[in-house]
Amino acid sequence: MIAVINYGAGNLPNVTRALRRVGADLIVTDQPDLIRSAHAVVLPGVGATADTMASLQQLGIADILPDVVAAGVPFLGICVGMQVLLSESEEFGPHPCLNIVPGTVRRLPDSAGKIPQIGWNQIQIAPSFRNHPLLNDIPDGADVYFVHSYYCDVTDQSIIAAHTGYGLDFPSIIIRDRLAAVQFHPEKSGDYGLRLLANFVAWSGSSGRAA
C-alpha cells in the first residue's frame, strides 16, 4: 500500500488519480501512524515550502518523515514535496525544512527569464542513473511539465539523477537509496509522467487494487 500524504496540497487529486491509473494500491491519509505503516509514501506539493512545512508540522507528519525515509521505505516527493526534503529554504525568508537531504531551496535566477517556470522542459538523465528502475523506459531528454520558482541546491551531487536547464542547471530528479523526488509534476507530464509513477509503483512493490 502507498500512503499519499494529504496535508492540503492542491495537486493531491491529480496525483492520486494518476497513481490509480497506473495500478497503485493506495490510501490518502493525514495520519502519521498510517504513513509509518505504509509500504511506500508519496508526498505531493504545490505552493510555498513554509506553508507546506507548517501543515506537515501541525499534523505531526514532519516529525515522522525522517524516520520513514531512514527505515528504507520507498518515498517519492513531487515538486514542493521534493523541496521540503532539504535542510532549509530561502523562499520568503530563510526557514528550516525536513533536513532529510542536505541542501538549500533557492530562487531561480533572473537570467532564466520568466519566473516561475511554467511549462514543458527536458530532463537530462545522469549516465549513472540511466538503468535505474525508476527511470525505466524514460529517455534522456524527455519532456516533462514544471511549475516552480525555486529549485533544490543539493549538497551531494551524486544523488542528482537528472537535471534541467532554466537559467542554470538544477536537479529535476534526485535518487538516494529508496528515496526519490522530482521537481516537475509527473501527474501533468503525459506518458512519461505516468511511466515514472508506474515505475515507482513497481519499485515499491505496491501495485494492486486502488482503494
Domains of the chain: residue spans and CATH:
2-204 (3.40.50.880)
The answer, yes or no, to whether residue 96 has pLDDT greater than 60, is: yes
Q: Which of 183, 211, 163 is nearest to 44 (CA)?
A: 183
Q: What is the DSSP letter of 184?
A: S
Q: Which residues are catalytic?
A: 79, 185, 187
Q: Would you place residue 53 in the very low, low, confident or very high pLDDT band (cuts 50, 70, 90)?
A: very high
| Strand 86-89, strand 124-125: pairing | unpaired
Which percentage of the chain shows pLDDT scores above 90? Answer: 93
**Mean residue pLDDT across the chain:** 95
Check the CA dihedral 106-43-30-35 and report its sign: negative
